[in-house]
Structure 1
């Protein structure tokens, strides 16, 4: 009888392993590192892949304490030597990797963020945060994000690198939170998610990649799961690096993304969906000031830092203000500096009929 149950247990565990493997196989594809979408652009013909940060850049980020998970996914290498994982989006696309935003409709947008005061002039070379990971409720063709924007406007041209985690049912097959990036440049004015466009983001890490699922999710008032993300411009190579602590995930090459610093940095929550529809929840689905102090945080972002004058420093709370476009649905609370947390904000809300 015991042997019967052992056999049953073996079959059950093996089936779970196979099911998980199948699920992982359809999440990404392994692509030759030199044949990924980024290299399907003439400007990238002679590009030399940057496999690690420069010594100067590494020195700036190596002093950061290891206070969060590097990532909350599987730890084994996903692809063979010489290949990298590229997320397979829910939408149909071809090897031309045409602009996905033409298919992924984004409207009914709402923000609960902190932003620099209007007319404040400064140049930042990147930003970072430790993100608290939740799984907000979203419907079909909606998204809810914990997000950082690095924006630059020059006359009528807008450039932007955006990153964080997102639950995005228009881009992904399910409603799990995932590492997500988005960028706009003069050569890609329609914008592009992750590694979907030619001449865009270059993936170098064999395990961590945009589109990867964060498996560990926070529970309000209980265990909190966090992950660190950083984007900064390497002063030597001029590429914009996506990192988690001292680990390089990938980058936006200077040949395509030539933004000379960011004139605006935003931190906070961001939702969107179909025009006229009910807006999704944000963060933990709660208003941050209703949750209170201490460890019963609503969704948070802490250790908010920016690159200034070749240094990674805490943001200056005197330079930022709260901004919420639909207070009946969402809110943000700039907690400012807290011991052990650094500069910090909490944000979120239930969503609903939030207006335009």
Structure 2
């Protein structure tokens, strides 16, 4: 089967008019769904070595060898290297003098050696993620008058070649005010599809 690699770079100011899609507080879930969410939280939130509270949420310092990413079937026997033994030929090892590194909230998370900081999931996070996925992710549109405030660009490749990373610069200037039924976001996705199996990474803010 062909390997399809989707690099989706999304920079958007999305005004979602369905309150259930973005505001977990206004979302009604069944008892069965609530039990399912509790089960997912137990799977996602592991026993931490250390817990750190920040303005962005609670971060748990998890043993680097027990991090959730290593539960993937293809990473069961993965050997973690804290320092690379070599750099790919296509990767630039020098930093441009014009490049500026921004600071993030994680600069204040001081986890012990041998652990990685992972933001603790809350039930509201899972509800919001599912609602957003059901109502918005499947609707990919260019920025038009029919879909104002939304713009998504896709780069699709079918070549079996290694990808060493992606980068995006995203900004929203003078965004419209939003309320509890709306959301502003800027995100970058990497997604791979092999047959009926799909894996993806998503980073950004909402």
Taking structure 2 as the reference length, what is the TM-score of the superposition?
0.47
Structure ranking higher in helix proportion: 2
Structure ranking higher in strand proportion: 1
> Whose radius of gyration is greater, 1 or 2?
1
Taking structure 1 as the reference length, what is the TM-score of the superposition?
0.30
